[in-house]
Every structure is written in structure tokens, then in C-alpha cells.
Amino acid sequence: MKLRIGIFLALFLVVGFAQSASASTLSDNFNDGDAVGWTAAPPRPAYSIGNWRVEDQKVINDAPGDGYNFLINSAPLASQIIQTKILSAGGYGGITLWHQADDNSWVHVRMYPAAGATSIWVDEFIDGAEWQSYHYAFEASEFTWYTLKVIADSQTGKLDIYVDNVLVASHFVQTPYRSGLSGLHSGNARDEFDDFSVSWIDSVPTNKNQCANDGWKSFINPSFKNQGACINFVSSKK
């Protein structure tokens, strides 16, 4: 896995305030033949972690069952642009967002060819329970490579979902847990993945008002457990 960090001075609005930031990207084409930097996670506590492995310069999972996760074991991410190539051979594959093992919560964006004309699915797990599964129009085929990309906004909860660089759906999540580990998602049968990348903006709050209205959730480096921790950080820098 490779980490690319591009540092720049930029003006953008976070809860109405302009600030500087740096952009970071993690990418992995799996050509090195190992899974360093990744960890397998079960769909629920005490469940199987699947059969994830790097093989033939791809990541593969072919365990029967649902909801397996293969996560970047680095810092939690909030807003992000995440994408991967996917080929499904009888199952479904996709992207995991905002995985929190302690709260047993996450979001899956997956391609499910067996679903026919509505093969883009968004599943939200909140506090260990499947909150809702949403299905969007796109007809995927098995044994075909697609590039799935999600632009996730942690503040608004909006997910823009692209297949081969074409916007196919926009979804607003219900979950309040909008930061966590990111990675891959697989179930039912064999899925193959390649050319994974995730990009995000590192920013630092400079005013306590940036912590209000869930603004504290948008910060990654540093990240905060709650609004009070964000405000304390701002106060400590004065």
C-alpha cells in the first residue's frame, strides 16, 4: 500500500470558515503480493472474517456468507473519495465506509449483479442492526470488471455513487456514525478487487464554531470523539 500526501494551501468552507488543509491518498494495486496495511473484519462480532487474500495481483474473497469487510487499518476517515475495481463471480462486492467495530456500525455500497436492473445497493448498519437497504438502478453483469467510486460527505451524509465514472445514484445516509475505517466489502461467492484508492482532506479547526452542528465529525487528523473534544482542541491552540 502506498500513501501519497500532497500538501497545499487551500481555501474551502467548513461550517462557514475558510482554512488551510492537506490532501492525502492511500492506494494499493496489490502488485506487491501482500496485504500489509489491511485487516479482515467480520460482519458481526463472533462471525467469520471471510477468506480474504492477495492472489495474482488482486484481492480475492470467496467465503460463503454475507457482509465480509477488508479494511485499511489506519486512522478513521470521514469525508472521502474512495474507489476500486470489482469483478463478481456469483456474489456481490463493493466498498465499506465508516466502519466502527465498537458501535457495530458501518455503510456498504455494493454491486449485486444477481439483483438485475437494481444492482447498486446501499446498506446501513446502525448499532448492530440493519437499518435499511436501498436499491438503485444499474444493471451489472457477473464476470465483468467495473470501477466503483463513492464520494462521501460526512457532514451532509450524501453519497455520490459512480460506476465507470458515470454518476448512477445519490444517497443520503441515516446513520449518525460518519467516520470510521474504510475498505472493501464482499459476500455470497467469489469477488475480485484491484486498483483501490481513497483520498481525503486533512484539516484542523481554528474556531470553536467549526465544531458545532456536527462539524467536529469532519476532522480526521486530528479526529474528535465529540463536540467538546473539538472545542478543547481549539482552546488549547490559543
Q: How far apart are CA 31 and CA 54, in angstroms?
A: 9
Query: With 80 as the cut, is the pLDDT of residue 217 above it?
Result: no
- Domains of the chain, earliest start first: 28-200 (2.60.120.560)
Residue-level pLDDT at 18: 38
Residue-level pLDDT at 11: 36
53-90 per-position pLDDT tens digit? 999 999 999 999 888 999 998 778 888 999 999 999 99
Q: How far apart are CA 52 and CA 199, in angstroms?
A: 23
Q: Are 36 and 28 in contact (CB under 8 A)?
A: no
